[in-house]
Amino acid sequence: MMQKSTLHNRSQTLKSLAHNLGFETVGIAKAEFMEEEARRLEEWLNQDYHGKMSYMANHFDKRVDPTKLVPGAKSVVTLTYNYYNEEKQEDPDAPKISMYAYGKDYHHVIKAKLKELLAGLNEEIGEVHGRCFVDSAPVLERDWAKRSGTGWVGKNTMLIHPKKGSYFFLAELIIDLELEPDGPIKDYCGTCTKCIDACPTDAISKEGYVMDGSKCISYFTIELKEALPEDYKGKFENWMFGCDICQEVCPWNRFSKKHQEPAFEPHPDLLGLSQGDWQEITKDVFNELFRKSAVKRTKFEGLKRNINFLTPPDQE
């Protein structure tokens, strides 16, 4: 049995290295099978809440057991990286883009930092084996974050931190190093229903805590590759890529502070584009604006589809 002081010191070393790399919050959970979460995921999938995101039903065993992803895993480390930006698009009538996509693609920016963190652990502690994850593998990020006390999962199903809000990316290290686990924290949503009331497509269940992904504006504008359903015409509240509504109305985001990551600064032209500029966007402009951005995922044709869907009939 390893001494508590050793586990504590290792954990503090990890957290110090992570903070030095720009991660804001670090939480640790024991790597083990997630029984309750497995039950909830199965129920969610059975309700077809994943829509056309068939990948969500793949690798079920890996999603609920980190040792299937990393043999010999002892700890799951959850880290948060702030992306909040106080700047907004200048034209109030311009189609809107989710704040997380303002700058360079977070997958690449954060993955590089995680690799640096793993290398730092090897230097400071000794040989550590594991894998880095940034929203790109079958990992139940928010559930691990909840287990490790990085925040609570709110009624809008986002992870919320009581001092930092929810405008941050989640990342994980699953490693074969035994560490001191952090416990979960209290849910502070209380009786608030602002996110449920504000969602224009009724994607959040009436009681909260369950998201019908197939009704979410982010799903429609990013994940759905076919024609957008006419039933939802006029319900997107001008979002052309992603949606921040349930975060914008969340009272806990009054604590959000500007990020310190140069890579997340928007392209100099992005926020100044008018409604007309977006409606007339060309492939060349798209490629220039979003060369290293997460928006590339929807491709030029997908973004055009979304913009056209937002256009009122009298302007078509």
Confidence of residue 312 (pLDDT cuts 50, 70, 90): low
135 is catalytic: yes
Query: What b/e readout covers 273-283, taking b as 16+ CB neighbours within 10 angstroms?
Result: bebeebbebee
DSSP code for 61 = H
Whether 315 shows a pLDDT value over 60: the answer reads no
pLDDT tens digits for range 215-272: 999 999 999 999 999 999 999 999 999 999 999 999 999 999 999 999 999 999 999 9
**Which of 91, 135, 187, 277 is the catalytic position?**
135
Residue 10 CA to residue 177 CA, distance in Å, equals 9
| pLDDT tens sequence across 49-98 | 999 998 898 999 999 999 999 999 999 999 999 999 999 999 999 999 99
Query: Does the pLDDT of residue 277 top 90, yes or no?
Result: yes
Calpha distance 316→303 (Å, rounded): 16
d(CA 175, CA 71): 9
Q: In the block, which residue shows the tokens 């829509």?
A: 51
For the chain, which residues make up each domain, given as ranges?
Answer: 4-85+103-175, 194-315
Percent of the chain whose pLDDT exceeds 90: 93
Q: Which amino acid appears at position 181 of this protein?
A: P
pLDDT at position 1 is 55
pTM for the model: 0.95
**pLDDT tens profile 164-188:** 999 999 999 999 999 999 999 999 9
